[in-house]
Amino acid sequence: MTNHPVTSVTVARAARLLGLPLIAVLLAGCGALGGGGDTTAASAPVRATSEASAPPAADAQPSQEPPTQDPSAAPGGSGQSSGGSGGSGQARTVAPGGTLADGDTVSAELTRAGQKDTFTLDLGGAREFYVADMRCDGGIKIQVIAEIDGRPEGLDNLSLCGGNWVFKLSKAGGHRLEITGDTNVIGPYSFRLATVKVRSFPVKLGLKIGEGSPAGAGRLAAGGEVHRFEFDADGASAIKVLGGAGSCLAIEMELVDAAETSVATARQPIPLCGYELPIALSNGDGRYALVIRSAAAKTGPYSFQLVRSD
């Protein structure tokens, strides 16, 4: 898909792995995310950079993960409703014309040429969200419209037929999702919505991180969670992430400067499992953050140890 620059929204910047072809792993979603999976080793160190100092990437690109169903995001009821969960914490399957909230799913169909399905967004104050587990047979598009001016936030008419998107809202007021088909295209479609939820944990080099240690870490408990482990370099010129385990192909890591606060979109992701080579702290002796996320807004446990490597 050809990308075009936008000024108001960042929609899932592509995973860039610093020209390391052997690390270019397709981070497939894992469905029910349990412990341990196939590991993928890389063969060269990665340097931490900040999005603020790196060359700008394309403003929209789907992740390369094939869509999979996440049981943790299954609707709470068996029937469709005309509205979303409304912040109640109970995900529901929402029909066209309803309101989508965090965790809600959609399974609907375009049955006539020119049909437009509309969903009101109720993000509970969040400004970034994933549209994940996207499925359709081809030719069906999604866009986010700002109610304040009736214009798209960022790129319009993005494909809904596979992968995942991250949307970042920049306009005030309400927003809606619109689903349309190409000329004369009809057919079923489905997707899941998950707001971005960042949790930060101050840690020190040498700490073993696992479920509940530190409190709240070690598991992406809800779709869209991003865990950020901030630490001082303490004179180290490089680090290693040892024993990465958990939902190996669905959960990824990325090292960024601690000043980087926009962490929902991956720029230099590495699979959490199977990568134990040195990662250079290229900005010198300062503060960094190791970001743990799922590009497909999946859930699951993880563990690792952050150590010096110099």
- pLDDT value of residue 40: 33
Helices (H) and strands (E) in the chain, counts: 0, 20
Rounded to two decimals, the pTM is 0.73
Report, as ranges of residue numbers, the positions in the chain whose pLDDT lies below 70: 1-90
- pLDDT value of residue 174: 97
What is the percentage of the chain residues whose pLDDT exceeds 70?
71
Cα gap 21→99, rounded to integer Å: 42
Q: Work out whether strand 208-209 and strand 151-152 pair parallel, antiparallel, or are unpaired.
A: unpaired
- pLDDT value of residue 261: 87
Tokens at residue 51, please?
């999005």
Tokens at residue 140, please?
């069906």
The tens digit of pLDDT for each residue in 3-20 reads 333 333 333 333 333 333
> Are 237 and 310 a contacting pair, CB within 8 Å?
yes
Residue 164: CA atoms inside 13 Å, Cβ hemisphere, count?
Answer: 34
